[in-house]
């Protein structure tokens, strides 16, 4: 079973590793779009494919409990839907749409070469 899901040769493995490295870089840059990430927090924002964007945050709350929130944004011809955790898809608000648009625009300005190269592979 494993040979079917693992890269078959060194070229595929190298491409896969490069893809992963670019995605990690993009998610880190994307996480800083709205300012520095506070100490003890992890924040990521990245383009998974042509139609899917991910916002991910992790932190420890004041009670010492680990918190995780992951939001998937799905770009559709008639609007943008989002989902968090096990929730159903829902349309985003006008304010969230404006924030999403600004984030995607900044993302494209900060990492256009990496983004374009990766989207052509995806």
Name the 3-class secondary structure at 89. coil
Q: Where are the beta strands (DSSP E) in the chain?
A: 42-49, 52-60, 66-76, 79-84, 90-91
Strand bridging mode 79-84 / 66-76: antiparallel
- The answer to whether 72 touches 81, Cβ cutoff 8 Å, is no
Q: Which tens digits make up the pLDDT trace of 89-98?
A: 999 999 999 9
Give the Cβ contact number of residue 27 at 10 Å.
Answer: 19
Q: Is the pLDDT of residue 1 over 60?
A: no
Global confidence as pTM: 0.75
Report the chain's mean pLDDT, rounded to a whole number.
Answer: 84
The per-residue pLDDT for 115 is: 57
């Amino acid at each position: 079973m494993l040979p079917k899901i693992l890269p078959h040769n060194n070229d595929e493995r190298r491409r896969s590793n490069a893809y992963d490295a670019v995605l990690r870089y993009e998610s880190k840059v994307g996480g800083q779009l709205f300012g520095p990430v506070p100490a003890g927090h992890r924040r990521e924002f990245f383009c998974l494919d042509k139609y899917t964007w991910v916002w991910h945050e992790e932190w420890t709350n004041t009670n010492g409990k680990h918190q995780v929130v992951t939001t998937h944004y799905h770009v559709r011809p008639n609007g943008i839907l989002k989902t968090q955790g096990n929730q159903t898809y829902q349309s985003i608000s006008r304010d969230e749409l404006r924030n999403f648009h600004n984030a995607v625009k900044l993302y494209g300005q900060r990492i256009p070469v990496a983004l374009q190269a990766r989207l052509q592979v995806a």
